[in-house]
A = this chain, B = another copy of it.
């Protein structure tokens, strides 16, 4: 079918024509179609049989422009191919953490998938102070499993190289290169600053040569380090969850990049939430310590869970193969030495990427509601300055941390757990 852009009036007929939908809907005459896309890129429709509301799917379609900017900003629909490739890869490895895929079409640049109607995007919930007891466990499993199984540590010499070629994602990588690694640091005209934010704090991240160099190093790593098939945008707006289940959605930024990038996105977002909840918990009348402790512990559990599971997968694989990435281990200690040094590098990258993700959310165009929606500009500026300070230290010192507790200590030293009394 030749590409055409759907709308609420066309979706029902489109769905009706698909053999894959026949077993999901008992009738196509009573479909309720609601467009809910709140992202910047695509159109998202929730399709529900009004007479049997369990019969429901989500349809996501890419349009050949950046939705938030309009038709004047062309953007190839190819991104939907990357999203579908990633969703299928994730589904094959972590079926309980990815919505079921019912149908996809490269021509129409769309995917139809499970409607996660008992789950919420966690950013909004975290803003409200909700605890997700399984989040770190599920997210760390997802990251460890998807990164390991797409890496050179697991795949044969041929498949990984073919995957790299197949998954290049030119335009969405460019968005990250610009909005995460470049614009925020060059005082770009797209940047947006809280008027209460100290000029010194901005100047530091835009004019300190060592900081600019460190951010440049992370940008270069993002562009050249083809380690694993990333989700590519794994912040807390790409996760839907309830207390028992966790789903990772929206992998349209997926491409082969550095492992630390997905980890850094997740962990950097939890640190941002940490800084926002100094004010937010006080505003709610709570002692900030409890929820903020959970946020830091969650960040730690994501890293530590990832590290443990990734190493487990790696060890099991090497044992099954009878050899290792570096070749046969003649002295019995070399493979372990390599694994240890390897994890140290991923840790360092995670810190650097988390830092860039944090800083760009303060001075760049795209904000996070956790902080941006704090109405009191002075309180917002305090959270922002704390986030910038943490990001700056992290990216500059990223090779000097030896465990996650040191990062938690850094966060607590910048903004004490119990908040500013």
**A225 contacts the other chain (CB 8 A):** yes
Interface string of A166-208 (1 = CB under 8 A from B): 1010110110010000110111100000000000000000111
Task: Give A contacts to B, CB under 8 Å.
Answer: 152, 157-158, 160-162, 164-166, 168, 170-171, 173-174, 177, 182-183, 185-188, 206-210, 212-213, 215-217, 219-220, 223-227, 323, 325-331, 333-334, 336-338, 341-342
Residues on B with C-beta less than 8 A from A170 are 157-158, 161-162
**Inside 8 A of A338's CB, which chain B residues have their CB?**
212-213, 216-217
Question: A225 contacts which of B158, B174, B210, B225 (Cβ < 8 Å)?
Answer: B225
- Identical copies in the complex: 2
Name 19 A/B residue pairs within 8 A (Cβ), A-sorted.
Answer: A152-B220, A157-B174, A165-B165, A182-B327, A185-B327, A186-B326, A187-B330, A188-B327, A188-B328, A206-B330, A207-B330, A209-B333, A212-B338, A213-B334, A215-B326, A216-B326, A220-B325, A225-B225, A225-B226
Is A208 touching B331 in the complex (CB atoms < 8 A)? Answer: yes
- Distance between Cα atoms of A79 and B400 in the complex (Å): 43
Cα distance A152–B223 in the bound complex, in angstroms: 8
Find chain B residues with CB under 8 A from A207 CB: 330-331, 334
Known: A152-B224, A173-B161. A209 touches B331 (CB 8 A): yes
Closest to A345 in B: B217
A161-B215 Cα distance, complex, nearest whole Å? 21
Q: Chain B CB within 10 Å — which of A183, A325, A329 has the most?
A: A325
- CB within 8 Å for A164 and B168 given contacts A152-B224, A209-B331, A225-B224: yes
Task: Tell me whether A328 and B157 are in contact (CB under 8 A).
Answer: no
Contact B186 A328 (CB under 8 A): yes
7 closest Cβ pairs, A-B complex: A186-B327, A212-B334, A216-B326, A165-B165, A186-B328, A209-B337, A207-B331
Residue among A170, A219, A220, A326 with max Cβ neighbours from chain B (10 Å)? A326
Instruction: Check A174/B158 contact, CB under 8 A, given A225-B224, A325-B220, A330-B206.
Output: yes
Distance in Å from the Cβ of A158 to the closest Cβ of chain B? 5
Per the bound structure, the CA–CA distance linking A331 and B186 in Å amounts to: 10
Q: A186: which B residues are within 8 A, CB to CB?
A: 323, 326-328, 330
Return chain B residues, CB-CB under 8 Å to A328: 186-188
CA distance A219 to B324 in the complex (A): 12
Residues of the B chain whose Cβ atoms lie less than 8 Å from the Cβ of A333: 209
CA distance A219 to B168 in the complex (A): 23
Query: Which residue from B162, B177, B325 sits with its C-beta under 8 Å from A219?
Result: B325
What distance in Å separates the Cβ of A404 from its nearest Cβ neighbour in chain B?
A: 23
